[in-house]
Every structure is written in structure tokens, then in C-alpha cells.
Amino acid sequence: MDLESAIGGHPIKKDSWRAVLTLAYQSLGVVYGDLSTSPLYVYKSTFAEDIQHSETNEEIYGVLSFVFWTLTLIPLIKYVFIVLRADDNGEGGTFALYSLLCRHARVSSLPNCQLADEDLSEYTIDGVDLTNKNTCGSRLKSTLEKHRVLQRVLLVLALIGACMVIGDGVLTPAISVFSAVSGLELSMVKEQHRYVEVPVACAILVFLFAIQHYGTHRVGFLFAPVVITWLLCISAIGLYNIFYWNPHVYRALSPYYMYKFLKKTQRGGWMSLGGILLCITGSEAMFADLGHFSQLSIKIAFSFVVYPSLVLAYMGQAAYLSQHHGAESNYRIGFYVSVPEKIRLPVLVIAILAAVVGSQAVITGTFSIIKQCSSLGCFPRVKIVHTSSKIHGQIYIPEINWMLMFLCLAITVGFRDTKRMGNASGLAVITVMLVTTCLMSVVIILCWHKSFLFAIAFILIFGSIESLYFSASLIKFREGAWVPIALSLIFLIVMYVWHYGTRKKYEFDVQNKVSINWLLGLGPSLGIVRVRGIGLIYTELVSGIPAIFSHFVTNLPAFHQVLVFLCIKSVPVPHVRPGERFLVGRVGPKEYRLYRCIARYGYRDIHKDDMEFEKDLVCSIAEFIRSERAETSVKLEDIEESERMTVVGTSSTHVDGVRMCEDEGETAETSEVREIKSPKKLRKRVRFLVPESPQMEMEARRELQELMEAREAGMAFIMGHSYVKAKRGSGLLKKVVINYGYDFLRRNSRGPSYAWSVPHASTLEVGMVYQV
């Protein structure tokens, strides 16, 4: 299966109920692993210190009421019924919301955006006309576009959300696995279990991160059965406890018990909200993993399976605790104490498996958010390994994986209890939700074209609830909440420094472009010897001639007969269809044989391997040459340099266009295609299969012949090795950021994605100093 073709086609997951229910079943293992394991630690974290369980049961009933209404208002109403509708062509998450805003207003963080990008099929959503805006949306759009400060605020908001997701990728595996393993405490002497839980939890975490490079597609089919088994288990135990211990516990679902709880506990009750909010840990995954499923399947899975199972589980624990007061010690208030003794061991095994599944989903989500940040120029380039050729989104980032493992182990060994882990995890979770609420309020006005009142109502209702929980979590700063703040601050600095340095470097390129008159003055030979082959000159510019090209011409004695200015750029859409992948145009007159090729990728697109990319690149240039005169493709005017760019797809989309064959054998001619062959037999034989076209001139055929011969001679990748320095007279902060921060990140990050696997013999690097 061609993964890119499948993504490019972007089939809508709909129609049959069987397909929807299958997706709902699969989503249980991918989306809800983290959320379903929250009963392991919610009550234990809530009653850890701030409040005590008394004979009146007002505390336990109040906590149950808070848990029930928090689950109802945030995951069910906010996410299922509202936020899931704000998808970006089927994709979800913090950057999906930011991407929507970037397309509806010119607030993008990407420096090399073009008007041509707005003609992409996925640039508009659901057929909404971007020019048809009401008064509220128009005012907000113009305000955002005028004020750079507001644009930076939106970017920082999105980055904070991404940083907290990464922090959650550290904390969730630690608290989930440690809480699952803590069931050993009931089968051991009180002090002995402390020496067993931490080593066992660390061993499971090491195993979990060590198998990441194999990918989850090999064992992914087990995820849904594990989570379903776990949900059935906790709901059955919950029902048993309700009927056996306290059938009237349902009365605690009344909001009146929240009032009684806060009235009695006061400050302690408010501080305990930091533990209660853990019941919605993993809710953001419903939106973040939307791209793998459909809205309807995620709604069905949560509304009819996850939500009732969690409510029964929490009610069952409350029913048991309402009849058991003054336990030997507060560590007895937890999940396992409410499990009948005879089935505790199998429940412990299922809990550990469910915790591993939930942790796996969070780790994969962390990889995904880092890839999105990197695609949008907000994170240093890292190695991204696609672990499955069939399942989109299954990626592995080695550097991030081992960093997460080290941090997870440090948290587990350093904290050794669910109280501080819960404080840290809760702050990360609620911050991501607050960021989503803020961005959603802007999406409601700008993208949905609703009134300000609707957006204000949304942010007042959900923002006030989340702010209450946020304040309760933030007050626990010294008891563990400092961890996500420290982690997110470090990642935020890294992201912003990289974004700032990348943008300054691009601005330098734009300001120092070489004029076309200089190129014309060199003549077709460029003033140097032109040898056979194709030279790919990597540049971030989408128009004009980069300054580094003059550096090449000045310092190199010879250049290739075909030169291509290659720009690989990201656009603020999740996917670019293969048929719209390349923009191809000329630089200078025809006889110069200089081309510009812009390869466009969405923030969730998969970059092909180098050999396939080279073939697509050469085919796109050949198709451009063939269709240039006939003008069968869409032409777009580049305003700055008057370069005419043509939209050309990948080789797999050229059904009626040029196709390229590279082999040693002979191919018979057919009546539908004419074969243009190289007259010389070379080591690698290249043939262009061109459709019959009487309008095709001999000049175009000669140009195709030269391109074919150049391809046979080989390709060389020519890259500028830039050294970015702050200009003289720059402020101290800018010098530190550029000369030390950005330079350190640049030296320790990877080069452009297409050059990762290029043989060193085919690569030429020329150094150049950038004064920004």
C-alpha cells in the first residue's frame, strides 16, 4: 500500500455503521488508555494530605460529585460535543487549532508562505469561503494581522500547549505504571512494598521505552482488548461495590454535595481539587488523536463505553470507602483496597497492562507533537523513523525516546509516591486544556463565524472551571507541580530560540537575494564550465536567487548542466495531496537550465525516502517542461520575481503525464507513449515515457533529453553550511540567543530531511557567515 497515496486521497471514514463501530473499538486502545487508568490514583491523590475521610462521608461524597461533574462537563460536553468539531481536515490537537487560525488570518509562524499555498485543496475547511466573514470575524482578523504582539501570543500559547504535552509524556507513564504497581502494597508488609514498587515500576518503564523502535503496529491489535478488559473489570467491580456496600451512593452525584464538601473542607477542599482533576487525565487525547479515527467513532466510544465505565468505577470506590472509615493508614485509600481480595492479583496484572497501553499512547502522542513542531519550524530537526509503512502516524524519534525514559525514571525514583506525581501530572493536563480553551474561543469567532457572545460564554464556562483546577494545581508548586513548569520552560526556550533564529536567517536570505540582472550578465554558462549531472541547491527561499549561489559560482570551477533550487517547506495544513506536492518554475531564460522546485508538505505528512524523492523531483521537472507550452497545468504568478510556477504532482499522480524508468532492460514502445531514450548506454539507464503530444516542440524534447542525460550522470546535493552570528551593535540578549543558543541547537540538530541519507560523495557543503 502506498502510504502517501492513501493520505493524499484522504478517504473520509464514514458510511457504514460497521466501519464506525470498528473505528470506535480501535480507538479504545489508542485514545482512552490513559483516561481509563485514572481510577488507579484519583482518590489516593485527593486524600493524600489536604482532606481526611470522616464518618459523615461528606468528603467522599463531595469528591465523587466533583469527579462526576468534571467528567461530564470537560470530556463529555466540551470535547465530545464542541472541540471535536474544530478539526483541521480531520486532524486534531493544539497545532491543528493554531493551523486553522493561521489559514483564516495571516498569523503564520512560517516565514516562507506563498499565495500559491492558499490554492491547496485542504487550505479551506468544509468548503467555507474565507472571504465571507461577519463583522466580528473581520474585526478580529484585522486586529490579529496588524499587531505582531498578538501573533506572538498565539504562537507562544500553541508552544506552551505543546510543551505541556511533552511534559505529560514524561509524567503519565511514571504515574500510571507506578500506580498500577502500587497494588503490591496490600499483599506485603507496609514497609516492604516500598522496596519493591520502585524497582518494578522502573523495570517496566525501561522495557516500555526500549521497545519503542519496533513500533506499536505489531502489538497494536492487543491494545483495544486490554483496555476493554480493564473497563469491564473496573465497571463490574464498581457495580459489585455499589450493590454490596452502599446502593444509595448515587445520591452523591447531586451538585449539592460539592457545596457541602467545599463548605466543610474550605481551603483543604480547594487544594484537593488538584487530585480530583486527575480524573480527566487523557481527555485531550480524544482531540489530539482525531486524525486516526472519525469524530463519530470517538464520540461513540466515550459516550457509551468509557464514560459509564469510569462513573461506575468511581461510584464503586466511593461506596466501599463510605463504609470503611479510619483505615490503618491513608495509603489504604486507593483503588486496590476496594477490589475483592480474591481477584486482586488478576486485576493487578490487567492494571499494569492497561497502564502500559495508556503510557504507549502518550509517548506516541509526544513523538507526534514534536514532529508537528519541527515541521512548523518551532523545534530543532530530529531523526524521525516511520515504524509502519501502512499505519499513518506510527513514528519513533530516538533522541526524544531516550530523553523521555531518563526523565521518567528520574521522576519515579525521585518522587516515589503518587501524591507528588499527581500534582505534577495534574498541572500539565489542566494547562493543555486551558490552552485549548483559549485557542477554541478564537476559532469560534474567526473560523466558525460565531458571535463574540458565544466565544465569551465558552471561555467563561469552561475557562472558569479549568482555572479553578489550575489554581489548585499551581498552589502545589513545591510538592511536585514545579516539574511540568520546569520542563515546559526548558522546551519553550528551545522552541522559541530555534524559531527566532530560523526566522532571522530567512530574513537575511530575503534581504540579500541576488538580482536577476547579475544572473543574466553571466550568460548561459554562468561564467564557468557546465558539466553533466544535476545539481540540487538547497535553499529556504521560495523566490529569487539566494546569496549563497553567488558564493558557489565564485568559488567553484565547474557546475552541473542542470541546476535546481530546491526548497522543502511546510504549509499550515495537515496533509498536501500528492497531486499538489511540487511547484516548479524557471529561474532565468530557458537556455540557462536553472529550475526552482518547491516541495510542499503538511505538518503531519510523511517525507519519502531519498531515492523516491529524487525520482519524483526529476519527474516533476520533466512534466513541467512537457506541459509548459501546452499550458495544461495551473499557472501561478509569483509577485516578487515574476517567476511562473506550475503545480506538479508526484510521479504516482502522472497518469497522463511524464513517467520515468530507471533500469538496465529494454521496454517496448506502445501506441500510447513515446519513449525518449539516451543515445549512450550508461551505467544507469533513464527513460522518460512521454504521452503523444503533437504540440510538443523540438526544443522541449531537447530539454528533456538533456535532463535525462543529466539524471544518468547523477545528482549532487549542494548545501550552504551557514554560520549565523548576531550583527555588531546587537543587544546582549540577541547575542546570547543567536551566538550561543541558536548556534548550539543548529550544531546538534540534523540537516534538511532529504539530505539525511545522501552519500557523502554526493554532497558538497560551502560555508557562509550570516550576520542577522
Give the pLDDT score at 507: 84
Per-residue confidence at 695, pLDDT binned at 50, 70, 90?
A: low
Q: Looking at the predicted structure, is the pLDDT value of residue 134 above 60?
A: no
Per-residue confidence at 482, pLDDT binned at 50, 70, 90?
A: very high
Per-residue confidence at 657, pLDDT binned at 50, 70, 90?
A: low
The least confident of 177-181, 193-197, 206-210, 293-297 is 193-197
Give the pLDDT score at 634: 39
Q: Looking at the predicted structure, is the pLDDT value of residue 591 above 90?
A: no
Mean pLDDT across 568-593: 85
Q: How many CB atoms lie within 10 A of CB 727?
A: 13
Q: Pick the closest to residue 442 from 73, 86, 77, 79 (CA basis).
A: 86
Give the pLDDT score at 619: 86
Give the pLDDT score at 540: 84
Residues 198-215 have pLDDT tens digits of 899 999 999 989 888 877
Which three cell numbers mark 335?
483503588
Secondary structure element (H or E) that encloses residue 636, with its range: strand 635-637
What is d(CA 613, CA 634) in angstroms, rounded to the nearest whole number? Answer: 22
Q: Looking at the predicted structure, is the pLDDT value of residue 126 above 50?
A: no
Residues 232-268 have pLDDT tens digits of 999 999 999 999 999 999 999 999 999 998 888 888 8
Per-residue confidence at 300, pLDDT binned at 50, 70, 90?
A: very high
Cβ burial, residue 736 (10 Å; 0-12/13-18/19+):
middle
Q: Looking at the predicted structure, is the pLDDT value of residue 127 above 60?
A: no
Q: Looking at the predicted structure, is the pLDDT value of residue 715 above 60?
A: yes
What is d(CA 365, CA 391) in angstroms, rounded to the nearest whole number? Answer: 14
Give the pLDDT score at 456: 93
The least confident of 151-165, 423-437, 521-535, 664-678 is 664-678
Residues 611-637 have pLDDT tens digits of 778 888 888 888 888 877 544 443 434
* Mean of pLDDT over the chain: 80
Sign of CA dihedral 139, 140, 141, 144: positive
Residues 69-100 have pLDDT tens digits of 999 999 999 999 999 988 887 788 888 888 88
Per-residue confidence at 680, pLDDT binned at 50, 70, 90?
A: very low
Give the pLDDT score at 609: 61
Q: How many helices (H) and strands (E) does the chain have?
A: 27, 13
Give the pLDDT score at 659: 61
Whole-structure pTM value: 0.83
The values of phi and psi at residue 563, to 5°, are: -115, 135
Which three cell numbers mark 686?
533513464
297 with 24: CB under 8 angstroms?
yes
Q: Which residue has the higher pLDDT, 216 or 236?
A: 236
Q: Which residue has the higher pLDDT, 640 or 172?
A: 172
Q: Which residue has the higher pLDDT, 701 or 75?
A: 75
Q: Looking at the predicted structure, is the pLDDT value of residue 681 above 50?
A: no
Q: Looking at the predicted structure, is the pLDDT value of residue 359 above 50?
A: yes
Q: Which residue has the higher pLDDT, 291 or 546?
A: 546
Mean pLDDT across 521-525: 74
Gyration radius from the chain CA atoms: 29
Residues 270-295 have pLDDT tens digits of 888 988 999 999 888 888 888 778 88
Q: Which residue has the higher pLDDT, 36 or 686?
A: 36
328: which residues sit within 8 A by CB, 6+ positions away?
Answer: none
% of the chain beyond a pLDDT of 70: 81
Mean pLDDT across 389-396: 68
% of the chain beyond a pLDDT of 90: 25
Q: Looking at the predicted structure, is the pLDDT value of residue 485 above 90?
A: yes
Q: Which residue has the higher pLDDT, 107 or 133?
A: 107
Q: Looking at the predicted structure, is the pLDDT value of residue 677 above 60?
A: no
The least confident of 404-413, 644-653, 726-735 is 644-653
Mean pLDDT across 660-679: 45
The values of phi and psi at residue 521, to 5°, are: -70, -25
Mean pLDDT across 514-522: 78
Mean pLDDT across 760-767: 63
Q: Looking at the predicted structure, is the pLDDT value of residue 665 above 50?
A: no
Q: Pick the closest to residue 709 from 733, 742, 676 (CA basis).
A: 676
Per-residue confidence at 419, pLDDT binned at 50, 70, 90?
A: confident
598 with 583: CB under 8 angstroms?
yes
Give the pLDDT score at 691: 61
Mean pLDDT across 642-648: 71
Give the pLDDT score at 662: 60
The values of phi and psi at residue 107, to 5°, are: -125, 20
Residues 724-758 have pLDDT tens digits of 888 888 888 888 988 889 888 888 887 665 544 45
Q: Which residue has the higher pLDDT, 664 or 289?
A: 289
Give the pLDDT score at 471: 93
Q: Looking at the predicted structure, is the pLDDT value of residue 596 above 70?
A: yes
750: which residues sit within 8 A by CB, 6+ positions away?
Answer: 380, 381, 382, 383, 756
Q: Looking at the predicted structure, is the pLDDT value of residue 760 above 70?
A: no
Mean pLDDT across 343-366: 89
Per-residue confidence at 769, pLDDT binned at 50, 70, 90?
A: low
What is d(CA 311, CA 65) in angstroms, rounded to the nearest whole number? Answer: 10
> HSE of 113 in the Cβ direction (CA atoms, 13 Å)?
20
Angle in degrees, 0-180, between the axes of helices 398-415 and 194-210, rounded to the nearest 10: 170
Give the pLDDT score at 123: 75
Give the pLDDT score at 347: 92
What is d(CA 307, CA 311) in angstroms, rounded to the nearest whole number? Answer: 6
Q: Which residue has the higher pLDDT, 58 or 554?
A: 58
